[in-house]
Amino acid sequence: MKKFFSTLLLLAISLQIFAQNASPSIEQSVYASGKIYVVVACAAIILLGLILFLFSIDRRLKKLEKYSDPKN
Amino acid sequence: MYKNWWKILGALLVMYATIAGFLHSVPKLPILHESIRNLYFHVPMWFSMIILFAISVFHSIKYLLTNNATHDLKAVESVNVGVVFGVLGIVTGAVWAKFTWGQAWSFDVKQNFAAIALLLYFAYLVLRNAIDEEQKRAKISAIYNIFAFPMMVVLLFVLPRLSDSLHPGNGGNPGFNSYDLDSRMRMVFYPACLGWILIGYWIYTLKFRVRALDKYTTL
Amino acid sequence: MTLLNQVKFLVKKELLLEWRSKYALNGVLLYVVSTIFVCFLSRVSANPVTWNALFWIIMLFASINAVSKSFLQESKGRQLYIYTIASPHALIISKTIYNILLMMLLTVIALGFYIMVFGIVPADLGLYLVATILGSLSFSSIFTMISAISSKAGNGGMLMAILSFPVIIPVLIVLIKLTKNAIDGLDRSVSLDEIGMLLVINVLVFAVSLLLFPYLWRD
């Protein structure tokens, strides 16, 4: 687990290095393509939000199952 | 037995709205360009939120009339789901605003009022946490919920019309309304709204059923 | 007793209690005066827009302090006594009337003092007065109900602030807009929209609290 996180951290740092070159062009590419990526981002946010919400329901249900399980 | 047809309908409508939302042709507008397609994603969030809050008020009224704890659970769960939809609406609105107005939060009236309307419901949830006694909590929060709903309606539907806003559909800005009279957009927009409302209602019934199980089995 | 008699009786009782101690009036007056004085001493630039906003912020906190007393202060015994002699409708009407009277007196005094200290006179003083009276009307009608809710929740001032701010913000926005018109001396027909809006909000809040209070009051 620790290794995984350290790899992730390194990855994030290295991404930042890439992003320094790329950042001015992100907005340009968004504008150039007729702002379609705005819509993509919004749809992704909605999906992400709903999925996270589903996870919260799932967690709750798991607790319930633990409670009502006859073996426990 | 639960009837499932409306869940399938909701899923199909949302799928249709998503696919058609990306592929269907839209009118060409100067500033909006393709981001006009956000109409199919951002706006239905608000519709679902309002419907969920209305359901919550309905159950609050029912609770006051019958004193049945089930209605209280329904009221609070629909507020929970409604708040999630509201937050999604605000975040997608902010993303869109970042690339259209240049700033994620540009203190536009509609953004501010939507945020305040959400605050109302956060206050409702705080109120619920503040009271320990169960019946008292149900009663008082139902009363606050009914009290808050007309204010939310005023906030979201009446006040923005009194002042100028950059939001499409306000104050002479290139609005969706004048263009989606163009039946091309309507054909996707209405199914999108209905679909998302159904999905929101579905999630709310799930939340409520989990909550009811929680309450009646563990106690 | 008929409703009218009960209301008359209860308002008289409130006025008598207030007259004996003069606690709310003096306390809040002192609060307002000292706040205004502090603002003056800290050399707030006398820009009319800031001047206006500052006035409403001061009045907001003063009215929260003044009105929240109406339910939070009552002892359990006195509440029980009132419960036996009067209907809940009479109680909420009388409390609201008393608070309106208190707030009107307070805002007019505060406005006089504020104008005196800062030396700024709005171009349309009549309209400004109308706005402050409408403001005190809506502050007291909203805060009375909210203070009833928070006193029943038994969590005092903190909850009062959380619950009332999202409800009062829309009113405050309309009020600031209306008074801004008065300061600029715009034609009065421009402000009719806002005045109507405030009246509608007041009627709405009053009707809702009249409907809901009986449920809150009986335990």
- C42/B197 Cα distance (integer angstroms): 52
Q: In 3-state terms, chain C is what percent helix, strand and coil (to 5)?
A: 90, 0, 10
Count Cα atoms within 13 angstroms, Cβ side, for B93.
24
Comparing B8 with B103, the larger pLDDT belongs to B8
Per DSSP, B219 falls in state -
Closest chain C residue to B60 measured between Cα atoms?
C212
Taking the model in full, what pTM does it have?
Answer: 0.83
Nearest Cα of chain A lies from the Cα of B182 at a distance, in angstroms, of: 20
Closest chain B residue to C206 measured between Cα atoms?
B147
A44 touches chain B (CB under 8 A): no
Comparing C159 with C45, the larger pLDDT belongs to C159
- C90/B157 Cα distance (integer angstroms): 33
Q: What is the pLDDT of residues B102-149, one digit of tens each?
A: 777 777 778 888 898 899 999 999 888 888 888 888 988 999 999 989
Q: What is the pLDDT of residues B147-183, one digit of tens each?
A: 989 888 888 887 777 666 667 655 444 444 555 446 6
At C92, is the secondary structure helix, strand, or coil? helix
Question: What tokens were used for B196?
Answer: 């998302």
- E-strand ranges in C47-184 read none
> Shortest CA distance to C169 belongs to which of C180, C158, C181, C161?
C161
- At residue B32 the predicted structure's pLDDT band, cuts being 50, 70 and 90, is low
Residue B154, pLDDT score: 84
Cβ pair C166:B147 closer than 8 A: no
Residues 6+ apart with CB under 8 A from B131: B137, B140, B141, C153, C154, C155
Cβ pair C145:B113 closer than 8 A: no
- What DSSP string runs through C33-66? HHHHHHHHHTT----HHHHHHHHHHHHHHHHHHH
Residues 6+ apart with CB under 8 A from C152: B136, B140, C216
Residue B1, pLDDT score: 46
Q: At residue C167, what is the residue type?
A: V
Residue C168: its chain B contacts at CB < 8 A? none
Chains C and A touch (3+ CB pairs under 8 A): no
User: What are the residue ranges spanned by the domains of chain C?
Assistant: 3-217
Residue C141: its chain B contacts at CB < 8 A? none
> Shortest CA distance to A50 belongs to which of C206, B85, B149, C86?
B85
Closest chain B residue to A43 measured between Cα atoms?
B41
User: What are the residue ranges spanned by the domains of chain B?
Assistant: 43-174+200-214
Comparing C172 with B101, the larger pLDDT belongs to C172
Question: Is residue A45 a contact partner of residue B91, using CB atoms and an 8 Å limit?
Answer: yes
Burial class (CB in 10 A: 0-12, 13-18, 19+), B109: buried
Hey, of B83, B113, B116, B154, which one would you mutate to test binding to chain C, going by the most C CBs within 10 A of its CB?
B154
Residue B163, pLDDT score: 67
Residue C163: its chain B contacts at CB < 8 A? 123, 127, 144
Q: What is the pLDDT of residues C23-77, one digit of tens each?
A: 778 888 888 888 888 888 887 666 778 888 888 888 888 888 888 877 777 777 7
Q: Rounded mean pLDDT of C131-158?
A: 85
- A29/B213 Cα distance (integer angstroms): 50
Its ipTM equals 0.84
